[in-house]
Amino acid sequence: MINRVLLYNSGGGIGDAIQILPLIDTLKSELKNAKFYYLSAHENLFNSTLKDFKSEINSLNLQIKYFGFRWWHAMIIKKRIESNKIESFDLILDLQSKIRNSLILKMIPHKSFISSCFNFKLSKPNIDIKKEKKINNTILKAINLTLNKKYGLNEFDINKIDRKFFIESERLLPKNNYVGFSITQGNIYRKKEWPLNNFVKISNKIAQANKVPVFFIEKKNKELKNKIKELIPNALFPEHETNLDSPALVSCLGKRLNFAITIDNGIMHMLSLAKVPMISLFGPTDSEKFAPEYKTSIVLDSKKLYNTKNVSAISVEDVLQAAKQHLNFSY
């Protein structure tokens, strides 16, 4: 019987968290009697920024900042477990692959431990499976082998989101001729952004097809919003026209789009929950690992197209051709 489950994720980004929403919902559905806990090197976004997706999960608070990223954590974790009276877990799921983090995580009392780190050699009991690109698929395959089950990965049910976000998205985008754009990156250390001028050129093309460009720009980025408005006067910025401030609203707005063009960022993952037809642009990051995976999710990866991590190598024509070929967009 699985009564206590701990999930550990070392990533701190919204995109990292959104990616595992289907896994969390699947486990909650299959292990109905289990109590779930989440441990992260950063904030538990499921109970804060992402709370409107209704996949809340208890936080395991060991009072260790950046858990797993310092070797000295191994020297204090036993004391923290005792002082916080942490009971043993029936199952610990390690959703990252840094060996230091995994070794420290494994010090938390448990019966079963699943980690893809070091080709699953740290797992208990030992399992021999091939690691897949998508973390959800890898972990679920390992769970099935460990528990002798045949669980399938559920899609995230966007209808769990409160109706008010759908109503607001319809108010903000009442017509049916919108194309979404997401152009900013959250991680400043990777050059994932595509030139703004390229988005301007595409916006001009879609205007010829009577489509309206919709830009997903955070309210705090007023300077960028004003710059885009000068370059593209008919551009819309729905997040700046509402009192609702939630990634759930972005997902619902995705339902109002004909399609979207986005770089690899959190907005890409928010829109993917709505299964919006999408062209995602990848450069330095791994598209096979991070790109949304459904029929109308089209990936343009500069590494595969032009053998470079520079996403700017992808041309405007590449994007327009992909929209024409895969999304039936005529211009």
Residues 29, 74 share a domain? yes
Residues 166, 152 share a domain? no
Residues 237, 110 share a domain? no
Q: CB count, 10 Å around CB of 295?
A: 8
Residues 164, 96 share a domain? no
Residues 184, 118 share a domain? no
Do 172 and 241 contact (CB within 8 A), yes or no? yes
Residues 199, 150 share a domain? no
Q: What is the pLDDT of residues 33-53, one digit of tens each?
A: 999 999 998 899 999 999 999
Do 37 and 57 contact (CB within 8 A), yes or no? yes
> What is the per-residue pLDDT for 211?
96
Residues 14, 132 share a domain? yes
Do 31 and 5 contact (CB within 8 A), yes or no? yes
Domain boundary among 156, 174, 192: 156
Q: Would you give the distance in Å from CA 175 to the centre of its chain?
A: 28
Residues 202, 136 share a domain? no
Residues 197, 123 share a domain? no
Residues 169, 250 share a domain? yes
Give Dmax over CA atoms of the chain in angstroms: 66
Residues 67, 195 share a domain? no
pLDDT one digit per residue (tens) for the chain, 331 residues: 899 999 999 877 899 999 999 999 999 999 999 999 999 988 999 999 999 999 999 999 999 999 999 999 999 999 999 998 999 999 999 999 899 999 999 999 999 999 999 899 999 999 999 889 999 999 999 999 999 999 999 999 999 999 999 999 999 999 999 999 999 987 766 789 999 999 999 999 999 999 999 999 999 999 999 999 999 999 999 999 999 999 999 999 999 999 999 999 999 999 999 999 999 999 999 999 999 999 999 999 999 999 999 999 999 999 999 999 999 888 7
Return the residue matching tokens 């608070």. 61
CATH number at residue 303: 3.40.50.2000
Domain boundary among 118, 134, 156: 156
State both tokens at 191. Answer: 């050059």
Residues 128, 16 share a domain? yes
Domain boundary among 126, 156, 186: 156
User: Domain range holding 83?
Assistant: 4-156
Which of 3, 9, 5 shows the shortest CA–CA distance to 117? 9
Total structural domains within the chain = 2
Q: What is the pLDDT of residues 156-182, one digit of tens each?
A: 999 999 999 999 999 999 999 999 999
At 63, the amino acid letter reads Q
